[in-house]
Every structure is written in structure tokens, then in C-alpha cells.
Structure 1
């Protein structure tokens, strides 16, 4: 006898609208909620960010500021492992704008007084670092509004979207990146935006869907250029998108027949070939074995560079075909989407010409080899088994962190997992299998990516890559589980989560603001990352 699904409580007959817990949790509405979130975020930035002494977050503040100052002075940027292209260029442009508005004098390297003149050096660096922190605030705010706009498209209920935006804004990773110059914020923000765009495209077919695929590819490659760790999230995207298809995902009439579809697919293919040819010299330089070896990288597979990159390309093609087959996407639209993906990725790659550097190319085109240079598993950089071992040995560490009891961390989203895992089971028992799979895939991806990060201590800065996945999983479940939304426990649990997010997300910023130790120990890496900038406390050693 087939098992019956649990009946879903009818929210309309159970609660009156004015008693809805979600209304009580989002009393300011959508726009008002965004204003409140932004106001609290700005307050946190001012109290525990902007006014902190300039050398408190030297890693990576100094690296980014130095490169921006050097570029504005007409020089070349120093080597940066990440390589943080967009972060550096945005700070460079911000410094130039502030100087033109006569708000910043220390906007070039030559404008920084020598380290021997301590007070003048401190004043100049303070103004430069504080200006850069404002750039970090603006970047994070822009990405927050991008997340909000896409969350509104994904979530059917604006109250659920508001809760998701709040959870993202007060996640540990976002709050940390709000006030320091790190490359992860742009990388993760762009890749999460790409995922949300793909979810929107997967749920409802339009004539412009290949354009959304191309835009997502463009965002992903730009994110990868800012932080190579983004490759883990990028590789997970096609798998995460598959469960979001439905009956409305089938191609619209334009892509099913007619000369217009054939012409559009042919034109997209031609543009894809042209874009790939333009980007190929960059790829060839990045995959050059001599340059890669000079950068200290070791090939991951078969003793050759570029092997797994071909596999990744096949991975994306395979999952694209799988989506088309499952959700009845026409051949012409599938071809156009794959070509749009090539166009978007190639156009983003061409931005590497802005600050051409062979070492940076090597880092971008060999992201996994670069990542494995910094893990505590020497065999992982030379074998597939070693690389796979990173996940297997890291999963336990991730699950311990998700308990919060066995391993505490300044990450309030771990408390969402306490509800998401039971929510997945509840959705499955209610025969909402697709919703359960959507949330489960999000959580599995978050666990896998975090498992790799465990090898580097799963630092707070890395949470920004996986916190959004956990939040999206919660939004998906909350949108569909009506009885969970109107339960008498929804409001007290929701209120507790709001309090935990605000409190725990501010723990690390407050800790940094109250820290009383001297300048960070950065003298050992200054010659590599800031060769033309001396520091007063390093000169005294």
C-alpha cells in the first residue's frame, strides 16, 4: 500500500491575516524593511569599522590600498594571489573620484609620506584606508540590493524575500566584508547573483533566456578573477539549477520553430566563436606549463595543466543538455544558451587585458592548483584521491560547526540549518519532493564547499560563499511549506533567529574594534605584496 503524504494545513482557515507570523516578523514591509536593514548595516559600519585604526585589518586592506595607490601613480600593481582584479580597480577608481572632488589627497603612492615621518604617514594612510573602507561598504551595499532584487523574483512572498535579505545582510561573512577590503565579497556576490539569475531563467522560459545564461557566465568569470575559490561555487551551479525547472520551463514558441530561432541560434554561435577566439590568447598564456611552473603550481591531473579545465567545460555542457532533456528545452535554444555561455565567459576573460599580468592569468586559469598550494594536505595537489580527501575529511568538521555546540563560530546562519534539515524531511513527507530536492541540493553544495574551506580553518571571510546557499534553501522551504509559516512557533523562532543574526554577526566586528594589540605582523610579506611602501613599525625591526 502506498504511503500517504501528510496533509498540509490550510493557512487561510487556520489563521486570520492579521495574525500571520510573517507579518509580525516583517512589520516594515518590503521597502521599509530594506531601509531598516540598510540603516542598521550603516550604523554597524560606523561603530565597528570606519573609525578603527588603519592597520587593524592590514590583511588584505594594505594589499588592496597599495595596488590602488600604485595604479593611480601610473605604476604597475604588485602580485596578488587572488588576484582581486575588480576589488583593486574599484578602489583605484574610487580614490581617483574622491581626489577629483578634493576629498582625498593620499590617492597615489607618491602622495604617501615616507615611513620615517610617522605622524604624516599615519595621517595619509588613515585617510586612504578609510576611503577604501567606504568603497567596501558601497560594494557590499550594491551586492545586497542585487541579492534583494533577485530574491524578490525568486520568492513568491515578499515577506519571505525580506527575511532572506535580512539573513544575508546579517550573515557573518557579509558583515565582516562590509568593513574590510577582501576579494571574497565581489567573487561570492557575483556567483550567487549568477545562481539566482539561472534559477529565474529555469523557472519560466522566455525568448531572452539564453541572454540570462550569458549574463550568469559573465558574472561567474568576473567573480573567479577576483577570488579563485569561486570555482567551487561555479562548478556547483548547473547541478543546483536542475531541480528548479518545471512545466513552465519548456521553450517558448519562438525557439521551437521558424526561421527566427534558427537565425538567432546561428548568430549566437558565430558570436560565440568570435568571442572565444578573442579570449584564446589569454587562456593559452594562463595554461602555459612554463608560466604555471614558474608560479609554483603543480598540475592536478595526468601531469599536465589544462586537463581538468576541459572536464569542467564538459561538465557544464552535460548538465545543460540534461536540463534541456528533462524540462523540454528545444535544440535551438539549448545551442543558443551554450553559445551565450561562451560569449559571457569570453567577454569577462577579456577584462584581464585591463591589467595584463601573466602570473595573474596563471592563477585564474588554474584555480584549483592555486588553492591547493595553501591547504595542509601535500598529496592533494598531485592526485585526484588527495583532492577528494579534502572533502571527505572536511565534512565532519563542517557538521561539527553546524551544530554550533561542538564548534562555535561567528556564523548565525548555522542556526538556520537546524530548521532547514527538518524542513527538507517535512517537505518530502508532504510529497513536495521537488522543493525538498531544491533545498537539499543547496545544503549539499554548502557542505561540500565548506568542507574544502575547513583545510584553511573555514575562516569567517569564506562564509560569504555558502551562507547565501543556506539562506536560499530556507527561502525555498518557507515559500512552499504553508503550515510551517503559520505555526504558533513561527514567530518566536523567527524572532530568536533575528536576534541571533544581529548579535552573533556583530561579535567579530566588535572584537576587532575593541582589540588593543599593536599593528598586525605583516612585515614578512611586505616585500612581495607592497615592495615600494615601507611601514614605520617594520622599519624599526
Structure 2
């Protein structure tokens, strides 16, 4: 039997559906082997914080965690616990159902069942996002084999492999914005009568992402610029948007946008009110006023949409409809905060950069121009060191893709594929920029989920245009080596966490603040707690 010379055939032997199924299966096996059965207090940050809030809210209490603010994560775990309880599968679904710390055996059993249930919720969330990523990746490129490689790279990126076994806010926040970007790239390349609806859906996803983690604002700000070079000859408006009927659709979009914006206005006014923001410990970032950069960002989004329309022959009617659907989608996403209203959530979500600046390891330096420049330069240096992997290793296999993407951009330029090179370059610059800011928080494994997909999408786009490289005699060994390294390194952090010998005592440093009504058996009583 003669082996195929096509590297893509050899790297994707299970086909499309079989490949996706294998990726999910390996992830589940990894989850069970190094995740599900790990002692319940091992990943307490943020497992305990999310689970505590879900338990307290199921008991009729209020949300107590608002740091960034994990809104959808907490609500989803709360609903998951309630659903499992109704099915008779979980007794420890409320705070009052957790035995007192004095009964260590009963406490451990109850918390173990709650944490196990929470980890299953994390696995289901990551699996759903992976399937959505696969569906969009399949439409993003012309060859399903490239999409399959991208799905594998995404599934076994360091961030996703960590998030499918722990409860954190980044997975939903980052993935919703990445899915929005992929939707918009597809829509930017292929015009259709429903394209403004896709834009509205993307805006909804971005806002939902922001409600879960304020760091999503960085991706949201990058998306309008990233989309500009993705137009092509099929981007021009279809016939419908150049007829008189198009203005009826614009009118309908205007009505929807007005209704949604009016409904969301009280949330906007409340979140941007100086008294409320100041009471939450936030300081205005620009010009001594809250809301300045938020308005500027809206202007950038609108300007990029108009510029895209001019570059790629999108009609005025479709452009206006898309702008209106952006307003409608973002407003509907913001209205999700009314599902379980709390003033703190609203303030944090609507002042994301003010909240992020409180996380910086040197906030006093970030407050001056010279200090901010110094932090930025040190952040860039930190990213470069990490991307080399040699100067600073990490559980981030996606950095190996950059070793191919950067030369790939140079090859694309030499071949005259300048638009493709520009697309990949902007995606890489966005990843580097967001990672630069993440360095100030140590650029932990959990943060990789914000930028690894940008790197993967850049690789997809390049390979789709440089498809003949698959026939190179070096293509298969390089691709096979990368796949093996990718899967192996992605398991490093989960295995390290599972084998960790450190005890739970470090939780005592913050449990009194984040778990005010839950006493832990290994911590001395401090402040108000439930006994």
C-alpha cells in the first residue's frame, strides 16, 4: 500500500466527524485521569468561589463574588446544581446542605460531591464551546482537514485543557468573543441577506463574554480592526440590500435596536454613575470621568464598520442595518445582567478597564505615563521570552505554531498573498498585545484561552492559502511532531496539578473574604462564618 504524499491526509486519518469525536474522547479521558477525582480542594481558586456562590444563591442568598465578575459561570453552576438536585443526583446543592466543618467526614463528602458536579459542568461547557469552534472552523477554511487540525490545536491548547476541569470565568468570556470573531470573518467573506443578523449575534456574544470576565474588553476592542482585511470580491452586498425593500429591513432593525437600548439604558446609567463606580473602589481611567473610553470604543466600532463598507462595497442600507443590530445585540447581552441583578455586577461590567487596573502588579506605576510605558515594554519582553519557549518555557504548546506562522507570513508576502499575510499579521499582533497586558498578572495558563485561538486562526488562514505546502516532504514529520508535542504539553499543567502535594492551608488566606458563610475544617475561624 502506497502512503499518501499529502501530509493533511496522513495527519487527519479519522475524517471530520471521527476526528472531532476522537478529540472529545481524549479530552474526556484526560479529564477523568487528571481532574475529576483530584481532591476537592486542590483547585480551590476559583472552584470554591464559584461553587460557594452557586450554593448560596440556591439557598436564597445573594451573589458574593464580583471580582471580574464570573456572572454567567456562577449562574450556570447554580442552575446545574439545582437541576441535578431535582433529578436526585446531588444533595449538596445549597449552602445549608453542607454539613458543618466540625463533622469533617460529612463536610468532605458533601464538598467533594459539589466540586465533582462543578467539574462536570466545566467539562460540558468546554465541550460545547469546542463543538461550536469546530462548526465555525469548518466554514472558515476551504479544506476540512485544515479545520480538523485547528480543532485539535484548540482542544489541546493549554488554556482549554485547564478550563475543562476547573471552574473559572475565562473560558466563557474568551470563547464567546472568539466565536463572535469567527462568525464575523465568515460573514465578512460571504455576503448574504441575513448578514446584519450575524453581526447582531456576534455583538450579543461579545457582551455576554464581557459579563463573565472584564478582560474580554481587549478582544472586543481588537475585533473591529481585525475584520477590515477580511473582505473579498464576495463581500459586496447582495441584491436585496440594494433595493427599496432593504429600507424596510433597516426600519425593523431600528425598532429592535431602540427597544433593546431603552430596556438596557437603566443598566448603563447605573453602571456608569460616578457614585456607584467610586463606591465599588474604582477610579476613572481617562479625563477624570467614567464612560469616556467606552464611548470612544463605540466610535471605533462604528468607524471600522463604515470603513469596511467603503472598502468592500457594502451598501448604505446594509451598513446601517448592521450598526443597528450591533446596538440591539449588545443591549440584549447587557440585559442578561437582569437575570440575577446586582449593582456590583453592573458596575464591574461597564467599567472593565478600571477594574482591570486594580489587578496590575504595580498599579501605582500604571497610573503615570512613564510608568505605564515601562510596564508595557517589560510586558512585551515577557511575551517574546514566552513565545520562544526556550527562554521561558510554559504549558502552552500553541507557541510552537508561532514558529511556523511567522515564516508563513513571510512566504505569503513573497508569493504575493499580501492580504492573507496582513490578516495573519493582525491576528498575531492582537495576540501579542493582549498577552503583553496579561504578563502583568503572570500570564497564567488560564489566560491562554484569550489569545491561543487568535494564533490558531492565523495558522488556519495561512495554511488555507499556502495549501501546496502539504506536499512538501517535510510537511508530515513537522506536522506529526507538532501534534504530539501539542497534546503532550497540554497535559503538563493538569498532571502537575493532580500530583501536587501542597495542602489546602493556603485557602485560609482568602476564605474569610470569599467564603464568608462557609467554615473550612482546616482553617481557624476568622470573621463571620457558618458553623
Q: TM-score when scaled to structure 1?
A: 0.95
Q: Using the TM superposition, give the Cα deviation of residue 414 of structure 1 relative to its aligned residue in structure 2, in angstroms.
A: 0.5
Counterpart position of 1:58: 44
**SS across alignment from 1:461:** helix
Query: Alpha carbon RMSD of aligned pairs, Å?
Result: 1.4
1:163 and 1:425 mapped to 2: Cα distance? 22
1:291 and 1:387 mapped to 2: Cα distance? 26
2:361 and 2:35 mapped to 1: Cα distance? 32
Single out whichever of 379-388 and 178-187 deviates more from structure 2: 379-388
Matched, 1:436 2:424: no
1:505 pairs with 485, 490, 514, which one? Answer: 490
**SS across alignment from 2:504:** coil
Q: Using the TM superposition, give the Cα deviation of residue 368 of structure 1 relative to its aligned residue in structure 2, in angstroms.
A: 0.5
Q: Using the TM superposition, give the Cα deviation of residue 374 of structure 1 relative to its aligned residue in structure 2, in angstroms.
A: 1.0
Single out whichever of 475-484 and 300-309 deviates more from structure 2: 475-484
Contact 1:78 1:528 in 2 (8 A): no
1:162 and 1:403 mapped to 2: Cα distance? 26
1:39 and 1:323 mapped to 2: Cα distance? 41
Counterpart position of 2:171: 185
1:137 pairs with 88, 99, 123, which one? Answer: 123
2:227 pairs with 214, 217, 241, which one? Answer: 241
Counterpart position of 1:46: 32
Single out whichever of 16-25 and 42-51 deviates more from structure 2: 16-25
Single out whichever of 352-361 and 180-189 deviates more from structure 2: 352-361
Counterpart position of 1:99: 85
1:226 pairs with 212, 226, 247, which one? Answer: 212
**SS across alignment from 2:281:** coil
After TM superposition, list the pairs within 5 Å mapping 1:74-113 onto structure 2: 74-113=60-99
Contact 2:49 2:65 in 1 (8 A): no
Contact 2:397 2:490 in 1 (8 A): yes
1:335 pairs with 296, 308, 320, which one? Answer: 320
2:504 and 2:361 mapped to 1: Cα distance? 27
Q: Using the TM superposition, give the Cα deviation of residue 517 of structure 1 relative to its aligned residue in structure 2, in angstroms.
A: 1.6
Q: How big is each residue's C-alpha offset from its partner over 1:476-519, in whole Å with a ceiling of 9 and x where there is no partner?
A: 11111023222111100111111111111000100111111211
Q: Using the TM superposition, give the Cα deviation of residue 296 of structure 1 relative to its aligned residue in structure 2, in angstroms.
A: 1.1
**SS across alignment from 2:314:** coil
Q: TM-score when scaled to structure 2?
A: 0.97
Q: Using the TM superposition, give the Cα deviation of residue 215 of structure 1 relative to its aligned residue in structure 2, in angstroms.
A: 0.1
1:192 and 1:533 mapped to 2: Cα distance? 36
1:383 and 1:257 mapped to 2: Cα distance? 53
Contact 2:505 2:523 in 1 (8 A): no
Q: How big is each residue's C-alpha offset from its partner over 1:143-175, in whole Å with a ceiling of 9 and x where there is no partner?
A: 000000000010110000000000000000000
Contact 2:505 2:522 in 1 (8 A): no
2:377 and 2:313 mapped to 1: Cα distance? 36
Counterpart position of 2:296: 311
Contact 2:154 2:456 in 1 (8 A): yes
Counterpart position of 2:101: 115
Task: Name stretches of at least 5 consecutive residues in structure 1 with no aligned partner.
Answer: 1-15
2:67 and 2:292 mapped to 1: Cα distance? 22
Contact 1:224 1:231 in 2 (8 A): yes
Matched, 1:347 2:332: yes
**SS across alignment from 2:100:** coil
**SS across alignment from 2:35:** helix
**SS across alignment from 1:536:** coil
Matched, 1:175 2:175: no
2:424 and 2:492 mapped to 1: Cα distance? 28
Contact 1:301 1:384 in 2 (8 A): no
Task: Name stretches of at least 5 consecutive residues in structure 2 with no aligned partner.
Answer: 527-531
